Amino acid sequence: MNVIVGITDRAGFTSNTDNLVLVRPSFRQVLWIPRDLWCPVFGDRVNRAFADGGHERLVAALAEHGLDAGGSVVLTRDATESALAAVSVLVPIPIAMTFAYPLTPTARIEDGRKTITFRPPAEVLRGERIHQWIGARGGSDLHRIERQKILLRRLIEDRVDFRACLARPDWVRASTPAALDTLADVDATWRFETFGPTIPETIDGKQVLVHH
C-alpha cells in the first residue's frame, strides 16, 4: 500500500503540511511532493489539502496528479521535534550554502529573519541546526527538498528511532493502522526522488508549482 506522509508546519492539524512524501513500497521509493504543487480540482496548493479535508482530501489531491495513496499519516511539528530532540547527524555539504531563517524555529519569517550558513565539507547537525537544514529558505522549494532527502537518508542509516513521533495520540493521525506499518519498511537503499516536472506559475495571486 502506498502511504502519503505529511508533517504540519505548526502544532495541531489545521496548518499546512509543508513536508509531504509518498512512500511506495512496490517501487522501493520515497517520493517528495513539493508543498506548492497546484491541484486544479481542489483549487489550492497540495499542502492545504489535509487541513481543509483530512485524509480523504489529501488522497484526492494526489490523485489529481495520478498518484495513488491507499493510506495517509500526518504528524504535527511537535512529533518531529520530539523525535529529533536528542539526535546528532552528520551530513555532507558540497559547497557553502547561505539561507534566510526565522529568528526562532517556530516563528514566522515575516516577523524577522537571520542569515545562516552551512560550510563544507560536512557538519554534525543537532538541535536548531537540524530544523535550519530542512526548513531554511533560499532558492525554490525543490532545493529545500534535496536537503530533506540527505537528512532522512542519514537518519535511517543511523537507525534513529522514530517511535517518539507516536508518543502522544494528539501528535499523529493515521487513516489506518496499516499505514504506519508500511513506513517501517523504508530503508536507506530506497530511491529518494521528487515528483515532477513542475514549473512555477502564479494562480489566484499565489506562487505555485504546476505539473507538466
As a whole number of Å, the CA-based R_g of the chain is 17
Count Cα neighbours of 126 within 13 Å in the Cβ-side half-sphere.
Answer: 4
pLDDT at position 133: 95
Say whether 45 sits in a helix, a strand or coil. strand
Mean pLDDT, contiguous 10-residue spans, the chain (212 residues): 95 93 97 97 97 97 97 94 92 94 84 94 96 84 92 95 86 94 93 97 95 90
CA separation for the pair 114, 56 (Å, rounded): 38
Give residue 139's pLDDT.
67
Report pTM.
Answer: 0.93
Dig out the grid coordinates for 139 from the structure: 532558492
Provide the pLDDT for residue 105: 81
202/184 Cα distance (integer angstroms): 38
Q: How far apart are alpha carbons 198 and 202 in whole angstroms?
A: 13
Domains and their CATH numbers in the chain: 3-81+161-211 (3.40.630.190), 88-157 (no CATH)
Say what the pLDDT of residue 107 is: 81
